[in-house]
Amino acid sequence: MSIQQRVDRELIELGVRLRQNGYRFITPTPLTHERVMQRADRLMAKDQRDVFGWSMPFDQRLFGTEQFQALERAGILEQQDGQWRSTVRWSSLNDLLFVHSSFPTTQNDAVFFGPDTYRFAHAIEAHLQQRTAPVKRAVDIGCGAGVGAVLIARAQPQAQTVAVDINPRALRLTAVNAELAGTDNIAIYHSDLLASVEGQFDLVVANPPYMNDQQQRAYRHGGGVLGEALSVRIVREALPRLSPGGTLLLYTGVAMVRGADPFLAMIESLPGNDFSWTYAELDPDVFGEELLKPGYEQVERIAVTLLTVTRN
């Protein structure tokens, strides 16, 4: 067994133990997280929820010797000024647990999970509930922690589900989360969008980064003027890969400028007569703190939207 396989096995076993112990944590926005951490009683972790949910520092004595050694073997601990921290975080979604990067997500290869993830998951579940035709082949583009792929694979066990990302760390965590969810019909590939996978799909889902991030962190920076470039590219490259009756679900964010939607202006002519599509704002105002950052001087609000395109 390779070192990577051994580490991932320890991580899977940690997830199993947390689930058996009734662990549950709903991940808030980064701004909410920061505000909670400013409270006077938030200096040191008091339980595993503080460690693996709130990403708080902890004393080694919080865990028994055997349990602490298991965390070390999993390779998820870092030490600063005599205090320990977990480099991963565990979030609840329905009856599932997903491992992803700890707070704050400052690394370029960080794997993000937050309120966008919950909205994205709801959109996928709603589509699958109203869909009449079975999904034979599906793909989660930019899978991150693998939420889209796992939800599809569980709901459509007959489907061949593919998870793709350019971030190796995301692929490793997706593999962990897929096994924890009990799914055995997910194939995981390193790919720039759909470049490394062939064929047509009945369902394509994507929750890409959509910010103009000065640090250009992969999980956050969407490219273009205001973070829209990757979302536009997904539409361009995914539509030709839809099978008849196949659907693209694109959950993204849009920086609204003087009342206009620049993303919609770029993509509304792309589907053409071969496709039917809808577009809706799921939340009109998110991440308002971003408007104070360079590049957002003309932006009035950031909305999260859902584009649904189906090949006729």
* Interval 21-65: pLDDT, tens: 999 999 999 999 999 999 988 889 999 999 999 999 999 999 999
Domain for residue 109, yes or no?
no
Strand partners, 308: 249, 278
Please count the residues of the chain.
312
> Shortest CA distance to 187 belongs to which of 136, 231, 153, 226?
153
User: Could you tell me the two tokens for 168?
Assistant: 């190796």
Taking the C-alpha atoms of residue 256 and residue 262, their distance in angstroms, rounded to an integer, is: 7
Domain boundary among 101, 129, 158: 101
Chain mean position to CA 40: 31
Q: For residue 282, give the H/E element and its range.
A: strand 275-283
Question: What does pTM read for this prediction?
Answer: 0.95
pLDDT at 222 over 90: no
CA distances in angstroms from 309 to 100, 149, 228, 229, 244, listed in the order given: 29, 19, 18, 18, 12
Tell me how many domains the chain contains: 2
End-to-end CA distance of the chain: 48
The answer to whether residues 58 and 196 belong to one domain is no
Q: What are phi and psi of 59, to 5 degrees?
A: -85, 140
* Interval 126-158: pLDDT, tens: 999 999 999 999 999 999 999 999 999 999 999
pLDDT at 229 over 50: yes
The answer to whether residues 39 and 127 belong to one domain is no
Domain boundary among 43, 66, 101: 101
- Domain extent at residue 14: 3-101
Q: Are 170 and 110 in contact (CB under 8 A)?
A: no
57-89 residues labelled b (16+ CB within 10 A) or e (exposed): bbeeebbeeeebebbebbbbbeeeeeebbbebb
* Interval 157-178: pLDDT, tens: 999 999 999 999 999 999 999 9
pLDDT at 1 over 70: no
Domain for residue 41, yes or no?
yes
The answer to whether residues 152 and 266 belong to one domain is yes
Q: Are 249 and 127 in contact (CB under 8 A)?
A: yes
Residue 272's pLDDT is what? 87
Taking the C-alpha atoms of residue 160 and residue 157, their distance in angstroms, rounded to an integer, is: 8
Q: How do 201-206 and 242-257 pair as beta strands? A: parallel
